[in-house]
Amino acid sequence: MKKSLFALAALTLVASYAQADEGMWMPQQLPQVAKQLKAAGLKLDPNSLTKLTEFPMGAIVSLGGCSASFVSTQGLVATNHHCVYDSVARNSTPQKNLLADGFLAKTLAEELPAGPGSRIFVTTEVTNVSDKIIDSNAAKLTGKARVDAIEKNQKTMIAACEKEVGYRCNVASYYGGLEFYLIKQMEIKDVRLVHAPAEGVGKFGGDTDNWMWPRHTGDYGFYRAYVSKDGKPAEYSKDNVPYTPKHVLKLAKDGLKEGDFVMVLGYPGRTNRHRLPSEIAYTFDFEYPNFVKNSAETLAIIANETKDNKDANLKYAGMVANINNYYKNRQGMLDSYAGSDILERKSKEHADLKAWVNSNPKTKAEYAADIEKIEAIYAKRDATAKKESFLASSSPRFLGTARTLYRLAHEKAKPDAERRAGFQNRDLPRFKASVDGVERSYDEKVDKALVLNSLVKYAAAPAAERNANFDNAMGIKDGMSKDQLKALLDQMYAGSQFGDKAFRASWLDKSVDDFKASNDSFIKAAVAMFDEGMKREVADLESAGDMQKAYASYMKAKIAYMKSKGQAVYPDANSTLRVTFGKVASRPFGADGTTWTAFTTVKGVAAKATGTGEFNAPANQLAAIKAKDFGKYVDPVLKTVPVNYLATLDITGGNSGSAALNAKGEFIGLAFDGTLDSIIADWDYNKASSRSIQVDLRYMLWQMKHVDKAENLLKEMGAE
Whether 531 is catalytic is no
* CA 713, chain centre distance (Å): 27
Spatial distance between the Cα atoms of 474 and 400, rounded to a whole number of angstroms: 13
Spatial distance between the Cα atoms of 650 and 573, rounded to a whole number of angstroms: 11
* CA 556, chain centre distance (Å): 27
Cα atoms in the 13 Å half-sphere on the side-chain side of 254? 8
| Close Cβ partners of 23 (under 8 Å, ≥ 6 residues apart) | 568, 570, 580, 650
Instruction: Identify the CA nearest to 30 among candidates 686, 579, 607.
Output: 579
Q: Which residue out of 118, 656, 678, 692 is catalytically annotated?
A: 656
| H or E segment and range at residue 12 | helix 9-14
Spatial distance between the Cα atoms of 457 and 459, rounded to a whole number of angstroms: 6
Spatial distance between the Cα atoms of 368 and 600, rounded to a whole number of angstroms: 52
Instruction: Identify the CA nearest to 667 among candidates 72, 66, 55, 252.
Output: 252
Q: Are 454 and 395 in contact (CB under 8 A)?
A: no
Spatial distance between the Cα atoms of 405 and 402, rounded to a whole number of angstroms: 5
Phi, psi of 665 (to 5 degrees): 80, 20
Whether 219 is catalytic is yes
Q: Are 496 and 521 in contact (CB under 8 A)?
A: yes
Q: Are 103 and 273 in contact (CB under 8 A)?
A: no
Q: Which residue out of 69, 72, 81, 82 is catalytically annotated?
A: 82
DSSP structure string for 490-551: HHHHHT--TTSHHHHHHGGG--HHHHHH---HHHHHHHHHHHHHHHHHHHHHHHHHHHHHHH
Q: Which residue out of 86, 190, 209, 219 is catalytically annotated?
A: 219
Spatial distance between the Cα atoms of 692 and 585, rounded to a whole number of angstroms: 10
Spatial distance between the Cα atoms of 331 and 19, rounded to a whole number of angstroms: 30
Q: Are 134 and 398 in contact (CB under 8 A)?
A: no
Alpha helices in 249-360, H assignment, sequence order: 277-282, 288-306, 310-315, 317-338, 342-358
Residue type, 260: D
* CA 13, chain centre distance (Å): 29
| Close Cβ partners of 639 (under 8 Å, ≥ 6 residues apart) | none
Q: Which residues are catalytic?
A: 82, 219, 656
